[in-house]
Chains A and B, each alone.
Chain A
Amino acid sequence: MPDTTAATATGGSSARSHPPAWRGPTVDLGQQHPRRGERVIKILLVAAAWLSVAVTIGIVVSLLAPTVTFFTHVGLGDFLFGTEWTGGFGDKFSWTDKAWGVLPLVVATAIITVIALAVAVPLGLGAAIYLSEYASERVRKVLKPVLEVLAGIPTVVYGFLALTIFTPIFAHLVQFNTIHNMLSPGIVMGFMIVPTIASLGEDAMSAVPLALRQGSYALGANRMKTTLRVVFPAALSGIVAAIVLGISRAVGETMIVTIAAGSRAQLTFDPREGAQTMTGFIAQIASGDAPQGSPVYYSLFAVGALLFAITLLINLVSIRLVRKYRQVY
C-alpha cells in the first residue's frame, strides 16, 4: 500500500512538470499486492449467504427422513384422506392401533384460518387504506406504533388471553361445549395478523404513483372513488400478496391454537367445538414425551412436512405476486 501511493505521487508530480510527455503510470496497475484478505472476507460473506440455502436443505432433510419412515408404516392415502386421527393415543410403540388420517387436523387449521382472515382482512385493509390514503402525518405517527406493538406481542400471550379472557366473553354470546373452541383463537389470531396485512397493504398502496391519483382527481373523482377505483386496483397484486402472507402466518401459528383450541383431534366444521390443528398436534407431542423411534415421534415429522409443504406453496404464491406488482411501475 505505501509503495503504491508513493509511486502514484511521483508519477503525478512528473506528469505535472511535463504535461504532454506523460507515458502512462510508473507502476503496473494490474500487478498489485494480491489482496488475500479481501478474498478471504468475500469467501466468508458468500458462505454466510449460502448458509440460508443450507438451512432450507436442512429443513427438508430433517423433515423428509423421518417422514419416509412414517410412510413405510402408514399408507399415503390413509394419511391424506383418513378422517380420524388418534396418533396420541394407545400403545406408544404400536403402529396398528391408531388411526392416522390427517384430515381432522387440516380441517381445524383451515377453519381457524378462515375465522382469522374474516377478522384480519377487513380490519387490516381498512387500516392500510386509511394510513395510505387518508391519514395525516401526525395521525400516522400515532397509529404506526399501535400496529407495531400489536405485532410485537408474543403469540403465547395471545393464546393465554384467548383462553382465559376471550373464551369467557364469547361464552356469553354463543354456547360452547368445552372451554376449548375454534372461535376465540380464530378471532384473536385475526388481530395478531392485522399488522401483517395492514403494513404490507399500505406499502403496496403507497407504491402507486401520485400521478395516477392526480389524474383521477383532475377528472373529478373524490377521495373515496380515487381510492377504490384507481389506487386499490393498481395495488391489487400487492394487497393479495399481503393477504396470502397472512394466510401463511395463520396456518403456521402454533401457540394460540395449542393453548385455546384444545388437543382433541376431531373432524368438525362447528367453530364452537374445540379441535386440534396441525401445529397444535406438533406442539402437544413435543411438550409431552414422545420417545425417539415411536410412531407418534415419526408422525410429528410427517405432519410437519405437510405443514411445511402447504406454507411453502402459499409463500411462493405471495412472493410471485409481490414481484409482479413491483414490475408494474
Chain B
Amino acid sequence: MDDRKLKAARQFIEAIPHSRALGMVLDTLEDGVAVISMPYDARFVGDPQTGVIHGGAVSALMDSCSGAAVMSHPTGVIGTATIDLRIDYMRPARPGDRITARAECYHVTRAVAFVRATAHDADTDRPVATATGAFTLERAKEARA
C-alpha cells in the first residue's frame, strides 16, 4: 500500500471514537494484513494488584485489527462486521509495555472473511494472545442477496 493510502486508512481507523479512546495506532496495512498497536495506560488495567491490562482491552485491539485486515483484503471490500471472535489468552501482558496486534485475513468467500490474529508486548517471541474470527463481507457493485 502506498503512503497516501496508508495515511487515509490510518486517519479512518484512528477516527473511530473507541479506537481513539484506547490510543490505537495503525502501524501497517497491506492486502489483508493489518498491524495495530496500543500504549500501556493505567486506565486499562484489569488487575489492580499486578497492573496487567484487562483482557477486554486486548479484545478491542484484536477486533479492530481483524476488521482492518478484512477491509484491506484486495477484493474490493467496502464493509465488514464481526460475526464471532475467539480469543485465547496465553500470558499476561507485561505492565508498561505497548501491545501490538497483527491480523491476517487468510480466506474469503463471497460473504464471509476468516481472520487470525496474534498480540504481543515488547517480547515478540511469546504471544500474549491469539484470536480467530469470522467477519461479514460487503463488496462494491454486488447485489445484495
Report if A and B associate in a common complex.
no
The residues of A with any CB-CB pair to B shorter than 8 Å are none
The residues of B with any CB-CB pair to A shorter than 8 Å are none
